[in-house]
Amino acid sequence: MSSQHDTGSTFTNPVIPGFHPDPSVCRVGEDYYLACSSFEYFPGVPIFHSRDLVNWTQIGNVLDRPSQLRIPSDTPPSAGIYAPTLRHHGGRFWLVVTNVAAGEGNLLFSSVDPAGPWSDPVRLPGVHGIDPDLAWDEDGTCWCTVAGVSQFRIDPETGETLGPAQPVWSGTPGALAPEAPHLYHIGEYWYLLIAEGGTERGHGVSIGRGRTPNGPFEPCPANPILTHRSTHKPIQNTGHADLVQAPDGSWQLVLLGVRPGGGTPGWHVLGRETFLVPVTWVDDWPVVGELSPEMPAPAWPLRPVPATPVRDDFDEAELRPLWVSLRRRPTELCGTKERAGWLTLHADPSADTLDHPDLVFVGRRQQHLSCGVRTLVDCSGGRGGLAVRLDDRHHYEIEAGDGRIKVFARIGPLRTKVASRPVPPGPVVLGIEIAPQPSGDARTGPDHLSFGVEEQGGGFTVLATLDGRYLSTEVAGGFTGRVIGMYAAAGTVQFDWCDYQPR
């Protein structure tokens, strides 16, 4: 996956579109690396590379082995992997993260190469809390700060805590959910950057500074230094930020935000995305620039990366890193080696609908507000097709098998078949078209999704069109975004190719 942006005088936010929340960034020389939360999906923690902070390429996933990532089948949606911090120290990359599934707690990984392989986890049993951060002071002490906000000294090699937790500055008194702490030594001060206000419309970024890594910290008089609460700006829920310095000495902030669509209250469907905004310094305090969809280009040259093909023909032995599955990906149920040039999915006998946590599913994040997806599916050995998933209880799918093509909708406790027609003989091309809806009145949903089949003559026949608001965070709740992909509901289903096209 790569993001492509104008190389002229502006660039487009978000810099990493789609469900890529809780960004954490570090620079090594002229290279930038960024990691995001992944929740219940496997592999976990996508990691990206850039030479300009604007154009990013996914180079892998940090947690790509069962020994690193345990997400039991009873893990609910929006649980699993929360809020990584990515840092470089002592010639190694370090990533600390919380796995809230099955009481795994905080885990620390390291690698000399950010593309992997990464180590098996070092457990931090004495570090309680989510959103862990790592920072090293001049004498080599490693500080781990967590939401709340409290702080530990740890040995990153063993995971041992070196003393009890110490409470530190926790943001604006009375503010909701002080979280996402990041600690930096910049100039004469140690700075503690946090998010507060909750990750919904009240989200914001605040900062304090002190003379030592454990404070005391004085709050910035201008806090929150970034928030879009109580505005009509097109980017909302702005928070969970991380600072990075460019080689020319300037500073930038990566953060999460959402792009609501439709009428009231506004529905965001792609999840929380990664945005970029410049930072200047006044009186030793950071001043965040204006965050908007169209941004002035930074002072350094932009370096567009080669576009990742939007079509996958499944010709490689391993799936590309953009593909994710639900909670696990057993090699005996999913792979490209069984039938050359095809993705083969074997259904779990107990998982006959997308509601089941062990559904065999391979999907990619929806990254564009308008897009189309096609796949050629051979359902002669089972039932399966294409699904758009927000979580286990909110998804739409078009399915082939048993002589029929059917469209289903699951909205909360209700699941219904909304269309059906005979399936033609042989493999069939299933498709989804997603397009925003103009906001005609306060009740207008954000987009509509059309499900259909490519006919042999080349036309696309729509079987059903569904309102997109029901696959949004504002309806479903949680912390994730839409994922579109292929699944097997029964027997064996094979896919020759899958094509995702921005419109």
What is the set of active-site residues?
22, 179
CA dist 155 and 152 (Å) reads 10
- State how far the Cα of 224 lies from the Cα of 253, in Å rounded to an integer: 14
Token digits of residue 214: 């454990």
Is there a contact between 500 and 310 (Cβ–Cβ < 8 Å)? yes
Within 10 A of 179 (CB to CB), how many other CB atoms are there? 26
Produce one character per residue of 263-294: b if its CB has 16 or more CB atoms within 10 Å, e if not: beebbbbbbbbbbbbbbeeeeebbebeebeee
Q: What is the largest CA-CA distance in the chain?
A: 73
Look up residue 295 and give its two tokens: 């941004």
- The residues, ordered by sequence, that sit 6+ positions from 310 with a Cβ below 8 Å of its Cβ are 499, 500, 501, 502
Q: Residue 58 is encoded by which pair of tokens? A: 């996914």
- What is the C-alpha to C-alpha distance for residues 434 and 388, in angstroms, rounded to an integer? 10
What is the pairing mode between strands 57-63 and 44-50?
Answer: antiparallel
Which residues fall within 8 angstroms of residue 282, CB to CB, at 6 or more apart?
A: none
CA distance 443 to 184: 45
Bond prior to 84 in cis (omega within 30° of 0): no
In three-state secondary structure terms, 123 is strand
**Burial (0-12, 13-18, 19+ Cβ within 10 Å), 2:** middle
